[in-house]
Structure 1
Amino acid sequence: MAMMRLSILMVLILLAVPGAVRVAHAAPSADLWPDWQAHDDASTEQIDHGAWQAVLDRYLVTKEPGVTAFDYAGAKKDGYDAISGYVTAMTKVAVSGLSRDQQFAYWVNLYNALTVRVVLDHYPVASIRDIDISPGLFSSGPWGKKLITVEGRTLSLDDIEHRILRPIWQDPRIHYAVNCASVGCPALAAKAYNAATLNDQLNQAAAGFINHPRAVQRNKDGGFVLSQLYDWYRDDFGKSDADFIAHLKRFAGPKLTEALGDTDELDIAGYQYDWRLNDTRP
């Protein structure tokens, strides 16, 4: 009984300490599941993502350069079957037999469609973090929930991003491609990812986010306020400050390039992230 009281007390303390709660929302590390490295670069098979493109054409709205919103209410009303049908079709693909570029497009499109379907399953919600279906006492959001089965293995959104995409490709532009259904995250792309145009699409996604104030902006004191994305996944964007700045400059437009200047370190004033749902409607 004393041990039970102590455990309850520890839980209450953790809930009362902001830092402890933040640990629960810390980004997972890239932890490769080796089985998913299987691929066939001699394969000429091409996966048709036309069904997902049709959804994007109908329900995605471009609000400004680098910013899109999704009509969840409209999709909930008459688009759910199309989205769910696309996800189901993708789970039947023998992904291990595809080329690397086909696999990348497959996983990113599946991740984004699955995220939209999860939101629709619980819509209306103010934020994706309100969908508390992940296992674990301090977990929030849907990312840890096993949602689909591909080639006999059950997968969550976290599995796709952190066990497959990040460790296999080791490309920081992944963070600009996968969408978390929030105002603060990189835009859900208006075009389904395609193996033939992959590099250009990833560059466009990176530039669209990096040049928007929600990614990088300078405050009145001259310090930089960055997206929390660059805090959660700092090492993915470069091991050193100089590497990180070089990453930003690679995609920066004239205005941001001028703001970054010639420095090899940034005066970071803080981080920001808007978890409100990227909905077309208030």
Structure 2
Amino acid sequence: MNIKASDVKALREKTSAGMMECKKALAETNGNAKAAEKLLKEKGLAAVEKRTNRATSEGRVFIAVKSDKALLCEVTCETDFVAKNDDFIKIGNKIAEKALAKGYTDVNDELLGVLLDLATRVRENMTLRRIRAINIPSGSVASKYVHTDGKIGVVVVLSVEPLEKAADTTITEFAFDCCLHIAAYTPRYNTRNDVDSAYLAEQKEIFAKQVADLDKPDKVKESIADGKLNKHFSDICFMEQPFVKDDKVSVAKKMAEIGSKIGAKIALVNATLFQLGL
């Protein structure tokens, strides 16, 4: 059967399959474009199913935000080449926006279905690894940041009192700087109160052993161990880390400084970091 080049081109534009694959599919279906499109999708799905055990260590983080909610999602694939593809980026943003609009808080079949269409076309294993929805209380300031390579995404929400101060550009700029800070320093916790109790107990034991053999009174040893613990908090806790744009003060102190400057009380509501694969 004579297959027209225009028909092959049209099928390729609809399916993103290779020219030869499109021509072969049209030949197998006697030139029926719809049947050929279905055949290519079936072949693509079969290819994806064969690859389901392949590692999906590449991908991107996507963020969608509206007035009262934000949502982060992590979409993974097999290769960096696909992760950088415009179609992959469009699908990731579509998933984030759909999950946000419908109020989803967990991965579900509908969201996975959006991803499956692209997976069948490029014949690469993909998955929606996780999503997280964040409430933005009234009068709060929310900011987001996704690193240029897409592998890190951050959402920060700050409460502001009085409410009219929430529109101050000083606060919106600070919220964005907090996102940059978290992306750069990737703190494990937001505050020391968030530190896992088992991890905290382990660190206290480590520091106590480090000072145990010092030739000093017990109270001095305890003080030194406490100092080590406080230093550790400044390494792992966002609010206690030296602020990215003024490392002479902690994030908490910079927040207080800015609040005092504009006559407002600023507090951290939420700081969420997504790192690809973590």
TM range (shorter): under 0.3
Structure 2 length normalisation: TM-score?
0.27
Query: Structure with the greater relative contact order (CA < 8 A, sep ≥ 6): 1 or 2?
Result: 1
Structure 1 length normalisation: TM-score?
0.27
Higher strand share: 2
